[in-house]
Amino acid sequence: MPQITVSQFFIMLFLCRSFSFFTIVPGLRESASGSAGLASLVLFVVFSVLIMLPSFLILRRQKGVGLIEFAYQRSQGAGFACATLFALLALSVAIDNVVHFAVFITSAVYPNDSNVIFVVLFTLVALYMVYLGLESTARFSGLALILLLGSLVMIVLSLAREFDTVGLISPFINGVRPVVQGGAVTVNESSELMLVLLFIPYLKGNVKKGFLWWVLGVFALLEGMIFVTLCTVGQYAVTQSYPLYAVAKMARLFYFQRMDAVHMAIWTMIGLIKSALYLFIAQRCLCFLFGAKRKNTILLALGGITILCSLLLAHYFTAYQALYNFTLTGIPLYVAVLLVPVLLILIPGRRRKEDKA
């Protein structure tokens, strides 16, 4: 079984969350903006910790056991159902990520190009990363993190002269609702919370401590980027399809005259890591159902499904938007990290019967 350190894992989750934020489209999500967005991130931290508490309490005595393994301890049927559910959820996130990337590239960067080549190449590279193994992706993530943080520092330095705090107003000027709604939406689209429970068997170290560092790291990143965007482009960002890409296009530092090109390379790396991570866990879930010996066949099947569904959703964008809006309701996330763990703990486990015997 491949294993990585907790630090490596949460670096990958940090990158996954950052990719979703960097390619955000304000028109597709009802979230808090401006100062309300800054305040809503505090609720993101609180909500994330609270919804994960039941799962951590359930698994606290099951060291090294993930949610699917725990389900198989309860019953064969529960394990089968959980493996199927999480395989579908992970695959859906991987497809969403490919579509997100393709639409971003063909609308903001290369508006006259077809998304077919981007979908196919992006998916094939992600599949190859899964084939190389979790350890290789983890090492690649360390490099991506360094490049990401370096590029963000360069953007902040290049835009230092443009800073104006006139846009920093009271976050509650429109009431409390936008702040609460913004915090809820940020949590609802954090599918990485699901991965925490599934990757436990592949991790070495203190998962709970790593999780807390991840939540605080995401909080710091989002707070910092919203602050920079608010103080440089202000409300102009709301009118842009990709606000942070607009900020990157403004950045000029030393001989880097096109910071957006630098960021595109880095964001592509991060997008590949995210897709590979979700395809990896989808493959592992299906290995519970069809056997580990068929893992390469399963991976090829996942790749084919990802390419086909991504091309369809990229073409029928209305359908993609409907699926994305369903994700923002939080139903998939709460089923995965709240409902399933509670149901599993209510099922009499096979281990108990063995102990009595």
What was the pLDDT predicted at 35? 67
What was the pLDDT predicted at 357? 35
Least confident of 79-88, 146-155, 270-279, 308-317: 146-155
Of residues 37 and 117, more confidence is placed in: 117
What was the pLDDT predicted at 43? 87
Examine the pLDDT at 172 and tell me if it is beyond 50: yes
- Region 91-108: mean pLDDT is 87
- Region 310-317: mean pLDDT is 88
What was the pLDDT predicted at 18? 85
Which of 223-232, 279-288, 318-327 is the most confident on average? Answer: 279-288
Q: What average pLDDT does the structure give for the chain?
A: 82
pLDDT bin (cut points 50, 70, 90) of residue 355 is very low
- Region 324-339: mean pLDDT is 87
What was the pLDDT predicted at 351? 47
What was the pLDDT predicted at 255? 47
Give CA–CA dist 256/175, Å, rounded.
Answer: 42
Give CA–CA dist 154/148, Å, rounded.
Answer: 10
Examine the pLDDT at 88 and tell me if it is beyond 90: yes
Examine the pLDDT at 324 and tell me if it is beyond 70: yes
- Region 145-160: mean pLDDT is 82
Of residues 90 and 102, more confidence is placed in: 90
Of residues 326 and 194, more confidence is placed in: 194
pTM equals 0.88
In three-state form (DSSP H/G/I as H, E/B as E, the rest C), the secondary structure along the chain is CCCEEHHHHHHHHHHHHHHHHHCCCHHHCCCCCCHHHHHHHHHHHHHHHHHHHHHHHHHCCCCCCCHHHHHHHHCHHHHHHHHHHHHHHHHHHHHHHHHHHHHHHHHHHCCCCCCHHHHHHHHHHHHHHHHHCHHHHHHHHHHHHHHHHHHHHHHHHHCHHHCCHHHCCCCCCCCCHHHHHHHHHHHHCCCHHHHHHHCHHHEECCHHHHHHHHHHHHHHHHHHHHHHHHHHCHHHHHHCCCHHHHHHHHCCECCECCHHHHHHHHHHHHHHHHHHHHHHHHHHHHHHHHCHHHHHHHHHHHHHHHHHHHHHHHHCHHHHHHHHHHHHCCHHHHHHHHHHHHHHHHCCCHHHHHHHC
What was the pLDDT predicted at 183? 82
User: Residue 120 class from Cβ within 10 Å (0-12 exposed, 13-18 middle, 19+ buried)?
Assistant: middle
Which of 20-24, 145-149, 322-326 is the most confident on average? Answer: 145-149
Of residues 348 and 220, more confidence is placed in: 220
Examine the pLDDT at 168 and tell me if it is beyond 80: no
What was the pLDDT predicted at 352? 44
What was the pLDDT predicted at 285? 95
Beta bridge partners of 253: 256
Which of 65-69, 136-140, 351-355 is the most confident on average? Answer: 136-140
